[in-house]
Amino acid sequence: MHVLVLCLLCLGSAFAAETVVNAQLHRDFNRDVFTSTVEIWSGDRLGASFFFADFDFARSGQAQSYFEVSRHFALARTNKAEVNVSIQYNDGVTPIDGSGTKAIPRTVLGGLAVTELRTGDAVLEFQALLRQEFASDLGWQVTGVWFWPLRRSPFEFLGSVDWNSNEYGDQPASLQAEPQFQYRYRSAAVGTEWEISRNFAGAYTEEDGFEYGKWYLHPTVFLRYDL
């Protein structure tokens, strides 16, 4: 199943027409790590592909990694929005995986995505997906993505939010939002990201631990460069 999904995700590479790449370096104060992020978006006549990977670095070296890859296949296009079939795959590695525990589950998602939805200067995307974590029951996920350049200024507001079913603890759903506010100068930007979450196990820190039913806020400052 996972091999089939990865083949579908890679299908668009043969038709690539436009590719955008950026690299980010975040300082996460609550987790006391640096996080490097690479994002790649590629659009073509079939739809679009997106990939990002995070690598956390603690004082002792690389601590963990996480990636997501998605493929949109366009169903219909108008001058206001685009409707797509979306297929996604997520996975990651943490220090405790060697003990027989998989802290970040392998996850396959599929559903519909409405992209390129414009309101004023903002560009929005909405996804409604079925979510299959490895060795878990079928679940669901709703995702929103936005990019909003503030008119006549070098400032930009962007980010994403995920709301999904949750089988862990006694909470039925998890929420994770990552809004960013940045100052852009040509291909470079400096800004801050605020990870806001509830029932998201990735909010764990050595100092505060993690509890279900509690809100968490993890701020970063970052440098970004569009390649």
196, 194, 192, 195: which is closest to 222 by C-alpha?
192
For the domain spanning 2-226, the CATH number is: 2.40.160.40
Rounded to whole angstroms, the Cα distance separating 56 from 35 reads 4
pLDDT at 181 over 50: yes
Where do the DSSP E strands lie in the chain?
16-28, 33-44, 47-58, 61-77, 82-93, 107-119, 122-133, 138-149, 155-165, 173-185, 188-198, 215-226
What pLDDT band is residue 143 in, cutting at 50, 70 and 90?
very high
Q: Is 99 helix (H, G, I), strand (E, B) or coil?
A: helix
Average pLDDT in the chain: 90
pLDDT digits (tens, 9 = 90+) for 6-60: 444 555 555 557 999 999 999 999 999 999 999 999 999 999 999 999 999 998 8
The confidence score (pLDDT) of residue 6 equals 47
Q: Which band of pLDDT confidence, cut at 50, 70 and 90, is reported for residue 2?
A: low
Query: Domain segments of the chain: what residues?
Result: 2-226
Q: Is residue 213 scored above 70 in pLDDT?
A: yes
* Residue 138 scores a pLDDT above 60: yes
Residue 2: half-sphere exposure toward Cβ, Cα within 13 Å: 10
In tens, the pLDDT along 75-129 reads: 999 888 999 999 999 999 887 776 667 778 899 999 999 999 999 999 999 999 9
